[in-house]
Amino acid sequence: MRGGGLLVAGTTSDAGKSVVTAGICRWLVRQGVKVAPFKGQNMSLNSFVTREGAEIGRAQAMQAQAARVEPTALMNPVLLKPGSDRSSQVVLMGKPVGELSARGYHGGRQQELFEPVLACLEELRGMYDAVICEGAGSPAEINLRRTDIVNMGIARAAKLPVVVVGDIDRGGVFAQFFGTTALLSPEDQSLVAGYLVNKFRGDVTLLEPGLDMLHGLTGRRTFGVLPYAHGLGIDEEDGLRVSLRGTVRESVVAPPVGADVLRVAVCAVPLMSNFTDVDALAAEPGVVVRFVDRPEELVDADLVVVPGTRGTVKALAWLRERGLADALTRRAAEGRPVLGICGGFQALGERIEDDVESKAGVVDGLGLLPVRVRFGVEKTLARPVGEALGERVEGYEIHHGVAEVLGGDAFLDGCRVGSVWGTHWHGSLESDGFRRAFLREVAAAAGRRFVPAPDTSFGALREEQLDRLGDLIEEHADTDALLRLIERGAPAGLPFVPPGAP
């Protein structure tokens, strides 16, 4: 039997589509509905490796966790990983198939992918009671409608009702809802069932007259007003969408009385990928994580993390231009902790030979670890399990660089020299025992009295966050109406003519 479905679109990027989709998935699974997430095309440097070795957007992996199902490539058949402002690596069904410019992708390749994307959606609908689809950007990007495979294109082909999410915290949400709907063709308008207000602060009764007027203007209702929720920490899709200056990820739990706070500085390298690696550090009571881009911001850091990046050579040049490379070298000489993850690990090595990603040839690394890296055409996609510091560690690998470790102490797939550590493994810090052991080493090297909490479970915290998303939907949305939409899986609205239109 073909399952029901719903497309969660947004008036803008970062309107809250990912978290609303996750919230609906968690609410549905708590009702006994077998549900799966889906996003036909995702653009993100924040990705994940499934158990079958496929690379998908990390947001879809998070949504699968919300639905309590194992993520698969079917849930995100097309992933675009930007390498510059004008080109991206295209990942199809979890495997890279080439690099394309934006013009080349929208000029023809995207249309070729429509049938495979639709086939993935239909396969999921045959496996699950409901599939909650997430759109991308805005469905009213009329310059791209002809080649659309993720918003109204997929909604029309699969006959999915559409709920449009708007971020009221940014202001102008009524104009966003009205304008988004007005710009759609009558055929696309007929699929728009209504709206969902996100990130509302204040007294909802003050908003209700506007919602009534919006209904009068568009003929469409609002399915709920979701309040602004602090401290969710759910995986973001397209990178840090706020200015890095002052961006802090801080534990909401205070450290024990008399214990030191541990300060972590993350170098905000260009094309930063999988920055969510540090979320597990921020989950620890008494750990403060900051994203930084100046050498003076490393002075009081107890740990500096050089994170993953889609452009290792570009990140190296940036570190040198900013003076951060010299600051990292001084830290290493002083025995102060530095951790490199994936591209950050490669940057800490002696030499990089890259004729694949940057095509820069041989480039000197920072020389802090005895490692030489050669970029290969084939991408490593893996879910390794190992041991470090006497603790079991799980992670995932996503990289073209092949590291030759020439010395130091073994550390996962990389090495350690003094207080400088490097590994390709993303997600390793989510392993609770290993994270605590690592932080004890960092605290000792930094001369801090910091003691990790013995019972912090990152997995349990993530489940609590996903339950909070489910609660937002259950408590603040018209769930009966949403369920009817999902079950019908058919056009739900009528075209409208904006006032003053010809």
pLDDT score recorded for residue 87 = 81
- Give the residue-averaged pLDDT of 313-331: 97
Q: Which residues are catalytic?
A: 342, 426
Question: Is 128 contained in some domain?
Answer: yes
DSSP string, 395-456: -BEEEEEEEEE-SSEEETTEEEETTEEEES-BTGGGSHHHHHHHHHHHHHHHT------TT-
Q: Are residues 469 and 391 in the same domain?
A: no
User: 239 in a domain, yes or no?
Assistant: no
Percentage of the chain modeled with pLDDT above 70: 90
What lies within 8 Å, CB to CB, of 363 at 6+ separation is 313, 316, 351, 352, 353, 354
Tokens of 212: 């009534």
- Residues 263, 403, single domain; the answer is yes
**The pLDDT of residue 493:** 56
In a domain, 458, yes or no: no
Residue 73 lies in a domain: yes
Q: What is the mean pLDDT of residues 312-332?
A: 97
pLDDT in tens, 68-110: 999 999 999 999 998 877 788 999 999 998 887 766 666 667 7
Report yes or no on 245 lying in a domain.
no
For residue 364, is it within any domain?
yes
Q: What is the CATH number of the domain that holds 96?
A: 3.40.50.300
Pick 104 or 22 by higher pLDDT: 22
Instruction: Work out how many domains the chain is built from and give that number.
Output: 2
In this prediction, residues 429-447 reach a mean pLDDT of 96
Q: For residue 30, what are the domain limits?
A: 4-233+463-488
H-helix or E-strand spanning residue 216: helix 208-218
Query: Would residue 248 count as lying in a domain?
Result: no
Tell whether 123 and 31 lie within a shared domain. Answer: yes
> Which CATH number belongs to the domain containing residue 287 in this structure?
3.40.50.880
Residue 124 lies in a domain: yes
> How does pLDDT run across 331-373, given as a tens digit for each residue?
999 999 999 999 999 999 999 999 988 899 999 999 999 999 9
